[in-house]
Amino acid sequence: MPWLQRTIKLPACQRGFHLITNEIVSAMPEISELSIGQLHIFLQHTSASLTINENADPDVRVDLESSINAIAPENFPYIHTMEGPDDMPAHVKSSLLGASLTVPVTDGRLNLGTWQGIYLAEHRDYATPRRIVLTLQGE
DSSP 70-108: HHS-TTS--S--TT-TTHHHHHHHHHHH-SEEEEEEETT
Q: Tally the residues of the chain.
A: 139
Q: Which domain holds residue 65?
A: 4-138
Burial of 67 (0-12, 13-18, 19+ CB in 10 A): exposed
Residue 4 CA to residue 125 CA, distance in Å, equals 33
- 15-54, pLDDT tens digit by residue? 999 999 999 999 999 999 999 999 999 999 999 999 999 9
Buried b (16+ CB within 10 A) or exposed e, 11-35: eebebebbebbebbbebbebbeebe
Residue 70 CA to residue 48 CA, distance in Å, equals 16
Q: What is the CATH number of the domain that holds 129?
A: 2.60.120.460
The count of structural domains within the chain is 1
Check pLDDT > 90 for residue 115.
yes
Residue 99 CA to residue 111 CA, distance in Å, equals 20
**Closest C-alpha to 28, from 138, 129, 136, 139:** 136
Q: Mean per-residue pLDDT for 108-118?
A: 98
Measured on CA atoms in the order 88, 93, 95, 96, is the torsion positive or negative?
positive
Q: Mean per-residue pLDDT for 46-69?
A: 97
Would you state the pLDDT for residue 55?
95
